[in-house]
Amino acid sequence: MPAALLNCFALPVRALAWLGRQGTRAVAALVLIGIALPPLGELLKPYVAEAIFLLLVISFMRVDVAALREHLRRPGIVIAASAWTMIAVPAMIGIGCLAAGVDKSSPDLFLALMLQAVASPMMAAPALAALMGLESTLALITLVTGTALVPLTAPLFAWMFFGTALTLSPLALGLKLALMLAGSLGVAMTIRWMFGIAAIRRHREPIDGVNIVILLVFVSAVMGSVAGDLWSDPLQVAGLTLLAFATFFALVGATMLVFRRLGHQRALALGLLVSQRNMGLMVAATGGALPGLTWLYFALSQFPIYLSPQLLKPIVGRLGAGGRQQS
């Protein structure tokens, strides 16, 4: 009987390990599933906050503490990268939107762009940078510091640019973000204490598979309305898609320019980090109570995020070739 029970667990673990080995291909497939199956998105939409919490737990659970300590010995670069990510970028996007009159012409789009700007980087961004062959340690520690700062910076920018127009008060937003981050960190540290970091690393592939399954909840929820919106207003969908890609590559390019002295590979890794904002965290913090256009922009902004490893692969290849020639 124990052997049969063990076999029952072995099959799903092998399936999760196989899914985890698919990497970015599986993540890209999630986008197609979300678009093709709108009813699945409606079914999973109420569980977005729980899915984001679990994704945070898995990310914190796998943080390389030794790498973090190493970079903390050179705090100047970390402070500069964190300030750029969490203060300069939201301020520039907010001021740019106000100058262009987006707050008046399309308040829902303004809300989407600002929630994207004030969000901390995606937990998966350093892993994607590593998959592309980039040095991702600096990106990792910037992610950690940015995540720690977001309960302070997000309410500040919400108050500056929205005032009382946001249904969730800046104080409540900061409190919800702090509780979510502290709770997920506490659960992650408990798991590390119970099983050990060696066991977590040994089971990397099944954990990757779990990550992808949980990510399906968020992707399906935000992508569920895309097909309907495409049929009803294709020009709006096309325009928002172009805006999402333009915002993504503008953030990558600006970050590479600002941090070019660190070397092209590090600058590109930071560019990926800055451009991949954790909008799911903001959706969870606001309880998912967002206008339809805001949801649609969030959905379409997933395309450049999940396609970036393929889109930027030629650039990474040229940077690598250039580095080999110089050495």
pLDDT the model gives residue 124: 67
Per-residue pLDDT of the chain (327 residues; tens, 9 = 90+): 454 544 556 777 788 888 777 766 777 777 778 778 878 877 887 787 788 788 778 877 877 677 667 766 777 888 999 999 999 999 999 999 999 999 899 999 998 999 899 988 887 676 667 666 676 677 778 887 888 888 888 888 888 887 755 655 667 777 777 887 788 889 989 999 998 888 888 888 888 888 888 888 877 877 777 777 778 888 988 999 999 999 999 999 999 999 988 888 888 889 988 998 888 777 777 666 677 788 889 888 888 887 776 677 666 666 654 444 443
Alpha-carbon Rg for the chain in angstroms: 20
pLDDT the model gives residue 139: 79
Domain ranges within the chain, ordered by starting residue: 26-321
pLDDT the model gives residue 8: 59
Residue 236: how many CB atoms within 10 A of its CB?
A: 14
Fold of the domain spanning 26-321: Na+/H+ antiporter like fold (1.20.1530)
Longest Cα separation, the chain: 69
Contact at 8 Å (CB) between 79 and 258?
Answer: no
pLDDT the model gives residue 269: 85
Q: Which residues contact 325 (CB under 8 A, 6 or more apart)?
A: none
pTM: 0.75
DSSP secondary-structure letter at 120?
P
